[in-house]
Amino acid sequence: MNEYVYGIDIGGTNIKLGLFTLPGMKMIDVKEVETPRQNQETSIFEKIGSIILEMNQVNGIEFKQVKGVGAAVPCPVKNGHVDKCPNLKWNKLDIIFAFNKVLPDHVRVAVSNDATLAAYGENQILEKPYKNAVFYTLGTGVGGGIIINGEILEGATGLGGEIGHMRVFDGATETCGCGSQGCLEQICGTSGILNYTKELSLSSTSSIDFKNLSVKSVFDAAKAGDKVGLQVINRVAEYIAISASIIAVILDPDVFIIGGGISKAGSFLVDLISQHYQKHARFSSYKVPFLLASTGNDAGIIGAAYLIRKQI
Ligand SMILES: [Zn+2]
């Protein structure tokens, strides 16, 4: 009898479910649905329960063949408990208990933070996973995940890996969503990139199309040699490199993996980060390689599926 696990990524807008074979972890089906807006402490889990039932039927699977469910959530989580979730109306919620109410008793459940699980997934799909890996997710916000000795790091309260809120520069005039100023996210997140592009364009000519300004248009301009685009991307790469050099002297990782929407800029960005990193790294940490993430939008479901596979 074939056995399976589900990897689920719960986001503020969408919920994505992947069905994976055991032990090979081949993803045989995937489905994305809108996140329910009302009564999110119960409705999200009821919806997931019904979609799992539907996916089981479509794939000719009985529930007894489903051994576990792994879930990625968009907030700090510790041992399955969420204190507060800014993206969802969850307050002091036991996620594992909430899942147990909608799933048969034999189905095991594991939960962790989405960026932490993206880190885990990206590392696990490598031919030879690293023991110690640090993952950056670059998008609207800047997040991260940390793997130490092959295990995910949640930390004492679930905040482990929130690298976007590392204070890396002085002179910030705006306050970050976290309440601090000068966070990595303020420079390397989407609005930091776009604001800096607009600021530079006041004093320099640029080929960037400001009517349709996006991170992609800034990167495309930089790749084509535009001066403003290059200056913006260089600053992003430099601050990621500075933050990585700080992490390197604390954790001494084997690898840095760069993922998230902005990482679609590809090796162009990763090579720039590597170059800047060489200036800032100390001791033997200059050897730590930077890899480009490869799972794209599936990072959360893949990491969640690998987490539950490890626990069953
Ligand atoms: Zn912050």
Per DSSP, the residues of 245-304 read HHHHHHH--SEEEEESGGGGGTHHHHHHHHHHHHHH--GGGGG--EEE---GGGHHHHHH
Which residues lie across from 183 on neighbouring strands?
167
156 and 272 within one domain: yes
- Of the pLDDT bands very low, low, confident and very high (cuts 50, 70, 90), residue 194 is very high
- Of the pLDDT bands very low, low, confident and very high (cuts 50, 70, 90), residue 45 is very high
Q: For residue 227, what are its two tokens?
A: 């001066």
Q: Are 10 and 93 in contact (CB under 8 A)?
A: no
- Residue 296 has a pLDDT of 86
147 and 72 within one domain: no
Model pTM score: 0.94
Tell me the CATH number at 117.
Answer: 3.30.420.40
CA of 102 to the centre of ligand 1 (A): 36
Helices (H) and strands (E) in the chain, counts: 9, 12
Backbone phi, then psi, for 29, in 5-degree steps?
Answer: -155, 150
Backbone phi, then psi, for 218, in 5-degree steps?
Answer: -70, -45
CA of 141 to the centre of ligand 1 (A): 9
Q: Is pLDDT at 288 greater than 90 in this prediction?
A: yes
CA of 130 to the centre of ligand 1 (A): 28
288 and 166 within one domain: yes
- Residue 209 has a pLDDT of 86
CA of 185 to the centre of ligand 1 (A): 6
261 and 304 within one domain: no
Q: Hey, what amino acid is at 39?
A: N
Average pLDDT, the chain: 96
CA of 166 to the centre of ligand 1 (A): 7
Q: Is pLDDT at 264 greater than 90 in this prediction?
A: no
Q: What is the C-alpha to C-alpha distance for residues 133 and 150, in angstroms, rounded to an integer?
A: 8
Q: In this predicted model, what pLDDT tens digit does every residue of 9-28 receive, in sequence order?
A: 999 999 999 999 999 999 99
Q: What is the C-alpha to C-alpha distance for residues 176 and 241, in angstroms, rounded to an integer?
A: 20
Helix (H) or strand (E) holding 53: helix 40-58
283 and 145 within one domain: yes
As a whole-number percent, the residues of the chain with pLDDT over 70 amount to 100
CA of 167 to the centre of ligand 1 (A): 7
Domain count, the chain: 2
136 and 264 within one domain: yes
Q: Hey, what amino acid is at 1?
A: M
212 and 108 within one domain: no
Q: Which of 182, 306, 157, 155 is nearest to 242 (CA)?
A: 182
CA of 247 to the centre of ligand 1 (A): 17
Q: Is pLDDT at 86 greater than 90 in this prediction?
A: no
143 and 67 within one domain: no
Q: Is pLDDT at 68 greater than 90 in this prediction?
A: yes
- Residue 178 has a pLDDT of 92
- Residue 84 has a pLDDT of 93
78 and 19 within one domain: yes
Spatial CB neighbours of 159, under 8 Å, sequence gap ≥ 6: 76
Helix (H) or strand (E) holding 151: strand 151-152
Q: In this predicted model, what pLDDT tens digit does every residue of 233-259 receive, in sequence order?
A: 999 999 999 999 999 999 999 999 999
* Structural domain boundaries enclosing 101: 3-121+298-311
HSE, CB side, 13 Å, CA atoms: give it for residue 18.
Answer: 25
Strand order in the sheet with 151-152: 151-152, 142-148, 133-138, 255-259, 290-292
CA of 175 to the centre of ligand 1 (A): 8
- Residue 119 has a pLDDT of 97
266 and 187 within one domain: yes
Where is pLDDT greater, at 209 or 287? 287
Helices 227-251/190-201 angle, 10° precision: 140
| Cα torsion through 282, 271, 117, 88, rounded to 10 | 110
Give the mean model confidence (pLDDT) for residues 28-42.
97
